[in-house]
Amino acid sequence: MKGNKTTIDTLVVHAGREVDPSTGAVAPPLHLSTTFARGVDGELLGEHLYGRHGNPTRDRLETALAALEGAAAAAAFASGCAVAEALFTALRSGDRVIVSDDMYFGIRQLLRELGESFGVEVTALDLDDDAAVDRALAARPKLLLCESPTNPLLRVVDIAALAGRCHAQGTTLVVDNTLASPILQQPLTLGADFVMCSTTKFLSGHGDVLGGALLAADEAHPLWRRLAKLRKVTGASPSPFDCWLLLRSIATLSLRVHRQVDNAEALAAWLADQPGVEAVLYPGLASHPQHAIARRQMKRPGSMLSLLLAGGEAGARRFMARLELFTRATSLGSVHSLAEHRRAVEGPDSTTPDNLVRLSIGIEDLEDLRTDLARALEA
């Protein structure tokens, strides 16, 4: 990239968006072709061969994603879960994996199923329990996969400290950066080996793209080399149009995320004082157990918050039913504010408290959001 385009607010606008050299087009071209022509001697005319292996629009997205996370390499996938699946299929039978005991329910389920199929042992741990983590690391697991902040309890992990302990045992640390986004946190700069994320969330930001990404600190990492090979022969490629939409969305990522955090900070502080709320789980509040870590490793505390409502499950359901501006829907990170009763979605295996409602705060007017929440909390 030419010029002084090194700060993240500039990178979101410019990375992967160089002027098209063949046409001068300023907006990134959308290449839909699934195949790429050869000349009379069989030589490829350009750099690409077949859509599953790569595509010029996907290349641009991967350039942008790598720049935002400070990564050596990026791979775009068809969803966040496809990234977790790819990581897992790159392991070998007999490998061990540690995960956090609070993480996105869908990936926890996926790891359990794939662990059984592939003979990979998956252990879920409270990553705040240093002694338990050290005991598990002593068995030299291949991977430790964690989120920070976690979904849905919004716990925060000290990424730099965890990276040090993992590396002392030869364990690869993968951090799911979905809830923070690279605007607020860059785990690779804190020592993680890989970042994964669901680009469906903040990077898309409009609730209209399903995608995922894996970012590597080092292209020579053996797991990255195996993944890159496997990605060519498996089918979790994102569509060129989704890559193009993501590139378009990334240009406003910083603006959206900061506005969402402005709203979330104000609402979290206000909600903490409301009689219908037993607790607000939000790393930006001084009452949060890992508030100091969040302040150290995140630029700002994010725009996801979970409420524990008075009145148990019935209280949570009544709150949900009264919302008018917040949309009752799963997912997060969009410009629209969303609310979800997680336990109802996670089903009978859920360990999420039954009075928990997860809020994804959008970019709407703060007072309109507060009015909606106040109405839903009325006795």
Count of residues that bind ligand PLP according to CB under 6 A? 15
* Candidates 34-42, 156-164, 174-182, 277-285; binding stretch for ligand PLP (CB under 6 A): 174-182
Annotation marks residue 176 as catalytic? yes
Annotation marks residue 104 as catalytic? yes
Q: What residue is closest to ligand PLP based on CB?
A: 80
- Of residues 17 and 150, the one with the C-beta less far from ligand PLP: 150
Residue 101 interacts with ligand PLP (CB under 6 A): yes or no:
no
Per the CB < 8 A criterion, the answer to whether 59 and 74 are in contact is no
Residue 360 interacts with ligand PLP (CB under 6 A): yes or no:
no
- Of residues 10 and 109, the one with the C-beta less far from ligand PLP: 109
DSSP bridge pairs for 86: none
From 15, 75, 87, 107, residue interacting with ligand PLP (rule: CB under 6 A): 107
From 102, 176, 193, 372, residue interacting with ligand PLP (rule: CB under 6 A): 176
How far apart are CB 332 and ligand PLP at their closest, in Å?
6
How far apart are CB 84 and ligand PLP at their closest, in Å?
7
Query: Would residue 99 be called left, alpha or beta, if left means φ above 0 and alpha means ψ between -120 and 50 degrees?
Result: beta
- Of residues 71 and 209, the one with the C-beta less far from ligand PLP: 209
* Candidates 60-68, 78-86, 220-228, 253-261; binding stretch for ligand PLP (CB under 6 A): 78-86
Task: Compute how many other C-beta atoms are within 10 angstroms of the C-beta atom of residue 239.
Answer: 17
Residue 334 interacts with ligand PLP (CB under 6 A): yes or no:
no
* Rounded-to-integer distance, Cα 94 and Cα 304, Å: 36
* Rounded-to-integer distance, Cα 48 and Cα 45, Å: 8
Q: Residues 370, 155, 345, 331: is their CA dihedral positive or negative?
A: positive
- Of residues 101, 102, 158, 176, which has the active-site annotation? 176
Residue 79 interacts with ligand PLP (CB under 6 A): yes or no:
yes
Annotation marks residue 2 as catalytic? no
Per the CB < 8 A criterion, the answer to whether 299 and 254 are in contact is no
How far apart are CB 89 and ligand PLP at their closest, in Å?
15
Both tokens of 300, joined, read: 């700002």
How far apart are CB 21 and ligand PLP at their closest, in Å?
33
- Of residues 210 and 377, the one with the C-beta less far from ligand PLP: 210
How far apart are CB 217 and ligand PLP at their closest, in Å?
19
- Of residues 17, 96, 201, 343, which has the active-site annotation? 201
Per-residue contact string for residues 177-216; x = within reach of ligand PLP by CB under 6 A: -xx------------------x-x---------x-x----
- Of residues 124 and 266, the one with the C-beta less far from ligand PLP: 124
Residue 302 interacts with ligand PLP (CB under 6 A): yes or no:
no
* Candidates 100-108, 115-123, 137-145, 343-351; binding stretch for ligand PLP (CB under 6 A): 100-108
**137 Cβ neighbours under 8 A, 6+ residues apart:** 98, 144, 165, 166, 168, 169, 171
Residue 16 interacts with ligand PLP (CB under 6 A): yes or no:
no
* Rounded-to-integer distance, Cα 11 and Cα 18, Å: 11
How far apart are CB 25 and ligand PLP at their closest, in Å?
29
From 16, 54, 56, 80, residue interacting with ligand PLP (rule: CB under 6 A): 80
Active site residues: 52, 104, 176, 201
Which residues sit at the interface with ligand PLP, rule CB under 6 A? 79-81, 104, 106-107, 147, 151, 176, 178-179, 198, 200, 210, 212
